[in-house]
Amino acid sequence: MTAKVSLATVWLDGCSGCHMSFLDIDEVLLNIADRIDLVYSPLVDNKVFPEMVDLTLVEGAVSSEDDRAKIIKIRQHTRLLIAMGDCAVTGNVPAMRNRYSVEAIQQRAYVENADLQRQPPTSVVPKLLPKVQPVHNVVTVDQFLPGCPPPSTLIRDVLLALLAGQKPTFAPRFG
Amino acid sequence: MSSVKTLKINGKDVSARTDDTILQVIREHDIFLPTLCHIEGLSAVGACRLCLVEINGSSKLRSACVTQVEEGMEVVTDNERLQKYRRMILEMLFVEGNHVCAVCVANGYCELQWLAERLGVDHTRLIYLHPDKHVDASHYRYAIDHNRCILCARCVRVCGEIEGAHTWDVAGRGINAHVVTDLNTSWDSSPTCTECGKCVQVCPTGALFKKSRAIGEMAKDNHFLPYLKTMREVNKNDR
Ligand code: SF4
Ligand code: SF4
Ligand code: SF4
Ligand code: FES
């Protein structure tokens, strides 16, 4: 196979820690650089998701209308979708707001704890969904990579296996 | 009557004492069987159902920790159906609480987490319930985080059967069940608790913890577990 594998990474409601862990695979990134094309990512400049991507790593839970629209679109244009990290896999810390209403949370964040402009945003900031959801509650996920963040060795092994056309076998810690 | 029974476990002939449970025989033969509520030396309650086994090919599964051996029994400890049920049980435990391992004192030291890893749970197919649960941090040394309690009742049993304090109990039913100290009062006001810390150490998850522990620091001190059986017998004879 000579064609490069196209790779995308997406950042929904997460802290970017999973992307840091992804970058932490260091020299492996250099070794596979000639086999992959990073076509869309917070790490590159491209603003439009390509027509079809082989492999997309998703960091973060689905928390806002913007997250949901993004992931639905990305799913339609991705062959293999990987939920990367606990926020994407379980909802994790972002989902801790799920037992409160959106109104209560906004009241707390934008009114009670604010000094200036004490009101919830009405434009620009995407609207929050009533409940934060793991990615697989919204679209089909092909592979789960739990961890907060997933160890870079795990990301590395999964990437290398997929690039070799194998199904990754590993037992990650879950929860 | 003979004091020995013979049975088959996974096709292999084994012998057992008449009053053994299936779990005891399985453990004696170093066969892996997941358990969460069970601790050798405490009474068996069959609360978690993870130790499900198949007996004589029956469709009705039995909990190995509360089922006595019988002559000629054929026990299967592992097959696809059992794995499927066990994974489902673990998934239910995760969605019924608020387990956020990334910010849990027991992260890396938790039996629920270990079993999920061992049984290949890498996500849950059920919807997280995000129940409204509380933390009682009133005690100066220990705290209980109900978000991470799986209702195994190990705390109830170790406190009652070994320490003899009977501080813990299970209150409520079904999804509303939870453990309470004394008459559902705060732990710091407990007239019974001796502060021995046994409940904290046998708790399989991060639900019971020492206050000085931060995320991923609550390694459980299990050195006394081998002596539980003896301690319990001493207590019984004392009464
Ligand atoms: S108790 Fe165990 S499963 Fe629950 S959050 Fe803590 S480490 Fe995770
Ligand atoms: S510290 Fe000891 S006495 Fe107190 S509740 Fe726990 S087991 Fe019971
Ligand atoms: S507090 Fe811990 S030991 Fe007690 S029932 Fe809950 S999980 Fe089990
Ligand atoms: S270990 Fe048997 S039911 Fe929990």
Q: Would you list the domain boundaries of chain B?
A: 4-78, 84-238
**Contact between chains at B98 and A141 (C-beta distance less than 8 A):** no
Per CATH, the number for A5-95+128-163 is 3.40.50.700
Q: Indicate which residue's Cα is closest to atom 3 of ligand 2.
A: B193
Specify the CATH architecture of the domain B4-78: Roll (3.10)
Q: What 3-state DSSP class applies to B236?
A: helix
CA distance A103 to A118: 14
Contacts of B103 in chain A (CB under 8 A): 93
Fold of B84-238: Alpha-Beta Plaits (3.30.70)
ipTM, two decimals:
0.91
Residue B217's CB: how many other CB atoms inside 10 A? Answer: 14
Max distance between CA atoms of chain A, in angstroms, equals 59
A61 part of contact set with chain B, CB < 8 Å = no
Query: What pTM does this model have?
Result: 0.93
Atom of ligand 4 nearest to the CA of B66: 2
φ, ψ dihedrals at A56, nearest 5°: -125, 130
Residue A141 to chain B, least CA–CA distance (Å): 10
pLDDT tens for residues B37-46? 999 999 999 9
Q: Closest partner residue to B117 among A90, A91, A172, by Cβ?
A: A172
Q: List chain A pLDDT tens, one digit each, 175 residues.
A: 458 999 999 999 999 999 999 999 988 888 888 999 999 999 888 889 999 999 999 999 999 999 999 999 999 999 999 999 999 999 999 999 999 999 999 999 999 999 988 999 888 899 999 999 999 999 999 999 999 999 999 999 999 999 888 888 877 778 7
